[in-house]
């Protein structure tokens, strides 16, 4: 949690060098980083609307063969739909990946995507 707080402070200050430093601290901790560590990182990026970081850190999880859990996908979806970019196609892709992994997300998760689509008038 300390790394996540420091990472969030760096992102608040738009200090990408410090953010990368604290990110490296999480992934370099002794032993294999756990899904919980990455979920903390993803949560910080999601709350800051940093979709690029969401993608980057999820890719790193895959590279390290860390299995995502429902919270991982929930965070990816929410961070994506609530970002300034509001990339609904990416959010739908995360949702589909969660389903393919055998996870059942809540109706509220799907509702978030619908609400974002309505706000953006993207209801195809």
Q: What is the pLDDT of residue 122?
A: 58
Report the alpha-carbon distance of residue 2 to residue 6 in Å, rounded: 6
Altogether, the residues listed in the chain come to a count of: 124
Is the sign of the CA dihedral 98, 57, 90, 8 positive or negative? positive
Q: What is the pLDDT of residues 61-72, one digit of tens each?
A: 898 888 999 999
Q: Which of 26-30, 37-41, 75-79, 90-94 shows the lowest per-residue confidence on average (mean pLDDT)?
A: 26-30
Flag whether the pTM goes above 0.95: no
Q: What is the pLDDT of residue 47?
A: 83
Beta carbons within 10 angstroms of residue 91's beta carbon: 24
> Average pLDDT, stretch 79-98?
83
Report the alpha-carbon distance of residue 32 to residue 29 in Å, rounded: 8
Q: What is the pLDDT of residues 4-47, one digit of tens each?
A: 678 778 777 877 677 778 777 766 666 656 888 788 888 888 88
Q: Tell whether the model's pLDDT for residue 102 goes beyond 60.
A: yes
* Confidence grade of residue 97 (pLDDT, cut at 50, 70, 90): very high
User: Which H/E stretch holds residue 81?
Assistant: helix 70-81
């Amino acid at each position: 949690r300390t790394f996540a707080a420091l990472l969030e402070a760096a992102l608040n200050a738009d200090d990408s060098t410090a953010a990368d430093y604290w990110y490296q601290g999480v992934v370099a901790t002794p032993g294999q980083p756990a899904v919980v560590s990455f979920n903390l990182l993803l949560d910080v990026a999601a709350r800051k609307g940093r979709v690029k970081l969401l993608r980057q850190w999820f890719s790193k999880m895959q590279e390290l063969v860390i299995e995502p859990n429902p919270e991982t996908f929930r965070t990816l979806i929410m961070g994506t739909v609530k970002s300034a970019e509001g990339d609904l196609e990416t959010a739908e892709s995360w949702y589909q990946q969660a389903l393919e992994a055998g996870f059942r997300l809540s109706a509220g998760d799907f509702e978030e995507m619908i609400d974002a689509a309505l706000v953006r008038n993207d209801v195809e």
